[in-house]
Structure formats: structure tokens, C-alpha cells
Amino acid sequence: MTPYPSGLPELPTLAVPTCPVCTGANRHPVATGLDYELQTCANQWHFVRCGDCGCVWLDPRPAAACLSAIYPPTYYSYDFEKRISAVARFGKSILDARKFGGVFASLDAPPGSYLDIGCGDGRYLRLMADRGVPRQRIVGLELSAEPVARLRQEGFQAFHRRVEDCTEIADGTIDLATMFHVIEHVSDPFETLRTISRWLSPGGVLVIETPNTDSLDFRLFSTGLWGGYHIPRHWTLFDSRSLERLLRRCGLEPVATSFQTGHSFWMYSFHHLLRYRFGLRSLSRLFDPLERAGLPMLMGFTVFDILRRNLGASTSAILAVARKPAAGVPSP
């Protein structure tokens, strides 16, 4: 049973015939699904996996003109502070502090400038300001104009831009750049990382966090219900091997790879199963990370992934740290 609403628009699409990481054409189908989270369209979407590097990508994907449809003004990252409970925000701040502690440990010196790509409501910009980086040297890029306006009022250098369209950042000026759950959204991961590489100062560091297809939850729900698919907003998905391959192809040196909690992926996987496979809408709310009723499950899956990570398991999200060589980025 799939209680998916009727009457939704059919969005125009764009074919992606070759692998975004290695450009290979050796591929096989992996998953089929709908926009289970936001119900923005009627399209049935398909993921394929590269037989050479293991990258998973959406083919076809939404056309560029559809971005405002699949990212409506109510999209959760635009009002994170309002949508998430105080308890969840507190837990998230602890995890963020731990994550950034590991990032700082990989730096040769404290960063004098910072860029967050997909900065949302600016919580990471404020975190870096609290760590002493001047606000005029903290840059945020975001697709929604409203949070950008608020962040500029706070003194940050925020821009309503995609990486591909941004001309406000000078080459060689960013000591630390982060992309937390963004690379999977972009149309061309290679060109995006090439641009960021140019923005990095010699020895500058890029940190990427992204869903991990080499994980237990992916294997359990891989045919279409996995929360990490975030259909149709996630366009390219990685495991540690394919992500490292992409970083090297862009002229960056991988420094470290670790694994992060993926409570929302676990929760949405069970949410989609209960609501769309079995029609248990009320029960599925217990697995919605944006619902207060889902807080116990959120805490439980967070602890579950922390324990698994500490035991050496490959969990639901990859955190990769890469450095720009002091000599710069080679030509493609």
C-alpha cells in the first residue's frame, strides 16, 4: 500500500547517462522511489550505481528549473532552529562541537577564514565566529534568499548563490571550507569541488559530510526507501572509496575519513516503510525526526550509531577531510 497523494505535478527531468565521479557508463539499477518526505511531485525516480567506482546517482534528475519546487520555503534546513526541539538542538550542538574539534585537529593552524557551503540558518557560521574567526572573513552560500538576508544583518559574508554561480569569493582566500550534507545535492560534484579547490588557500582544508552507501541502513533499505536517498534532492551518493576518488581527481589530498551518526536516515527509512509500504501514518510519525513524537527514536538511533562507530562500523554518514597541496591545484 502506497498512500501517496494524487494530482501532484510531473516535473521536467534531465538525463545523467555517465557517472559523476569517474565518467564511466558501466551502471546498473539500484532503487526506485517517490518524494516520500515533501511530496512535491508525482515523478517516480531511479538511482543507478557505477560498476567501476561504486558511485550511486539519480538518473534522470530534476531539471534546474525545478529547484524551487523540490526545495520549497518550508524546507527544514531554512528554519532548523524552529523545526527541531530544544533537546535535539542541544544534542546536535554537542555532536557539532565534537565534529569541529576533529576538524581543527587536522589543521596546521587555526583558520583565519571560513566558508560554509549550504549554510542554512548559519549555525556553523556562528560556531566559527565563537571560535574567534572574524565575521567579515566568514562566508556562507545558500540557495534561499531569506536566511542570507538575516545572516548579512549579523555581519557575515552571506550570498544567495550556488558554488557554480558565485563570483564573490577570490581564489586562494579560504583556509577552511565545509560542505555538510551538500555535495549530494549539486549537479556536478567534480566542477563544484574544483571551484572550491581554487578558493582554498595553499594548505587549506575542505571538510565534506555526506550519506554513506556502505552502511547497514543502506543495505537494509537500498531498493528505494532508504532515508539517505532524500528523493529527489540527493543526486549523487558516495561510499568512502568513491568520495576519495573524486577528491583526488579534483586535486585535493585526502587526509582522514571518519563516520558520523545518521539518525535521520534510519528514522526516515522506517518512516517511509511504515507510511508508504504499510499505510501506518500515525505510527510513522514516531520515526519523523522533525516531529516531537520522534524524539525518543532520534535519541535511540543516535546512540546506536555512536556505539557502532566506536566499535569500528561504517555508519550512515562519511566525514572526509582533504587538503589543498601547497603548490596549488593541478589542471584537469
What is the arithmetic mean of pLDDT over 37-65?
A: 97
Strand partners, 89: none
CA distance 32 to 265: 17
Q: Is 20 part of any domain?
A: no
Strand partners, 27: 50
CA distance 89 to 67: 27
Q: For 169-201, write each residue's pLDDT tens digit.
A: 999 999 999 999 999 999 999 999 999 999 999
Q: Is 280 part of any domain?
A: yes
What is the arithmetic mean of pLDDT over 211-228?
A: 98
- Determine the 3-state secondary structure of 7 from DSSP: coil
Q: Is 80 part of any domain?
A: yes
Q: Is 245 part of any domain?
A: yes
Percent of the chain topping pLDDT 90: 78
Q: Is 36 part of any domain?
A: no
- Determine the 3-state secondary structure of 254 from DSSP: strand
Q: Does residue 73 surpass a pLDDT of 90?
A: no
Q: For 132-147, write each residue's pLDDT tens digit.
A: 999 999 999 998 888 8
Place of cell 516503510: 273
Give the number of C-alpha atoms closer than 13 A to the C-alpha of residue 127, restricted to the C-beta side.
22
- Minimal CA–CA distance to 212: which of 270, 162, 257? 257
Q: Is 1 part of any domain?
A: no
Q: Is 58 part of any domain?
A: no
Give the chain's domain count.
Answer: 1
pLDDT at residue 2, rounded to an integer: 56
- Beta strands at 45-50 and 114-117: parallel, antiparallel or unpaired: unpaired
- Chain-centroid distance of CA 300 in Å reads 22
- Domain of 148, CATH number, reads 3.40.50.150
Residue 331 grid coordinates: 589542471
CB 254 within 8 A of CB 245: no
- Give 217's DSSP letter: H
Q: For 58-72, write each residue's pLDDT tens digit.
A: 999 999 899 889 988
**What is the domain extent for residue 99?**
74-323
User: Who wins on pLDDT, 141 or 328?
Assistant: 141
What is the arithmetic mean of pLDDT over 93-120?
A: 85
- Give 226's DSSP letter: -
**Residue 149 burial by Cβ neighbours in a 10 Å radius (0-12, 13-18, 19+):** exposed
**Cα end-to-end distance, the chain, whole Å:** 49
pLDDT at residue 144, rounded to an integer: 81
- pLDDT-based confidence at residue 332 (cuts at 50, 70, 90): very low
CA distance 197 to 332: 12
Q: Is 231 part of any domain?
A: yes
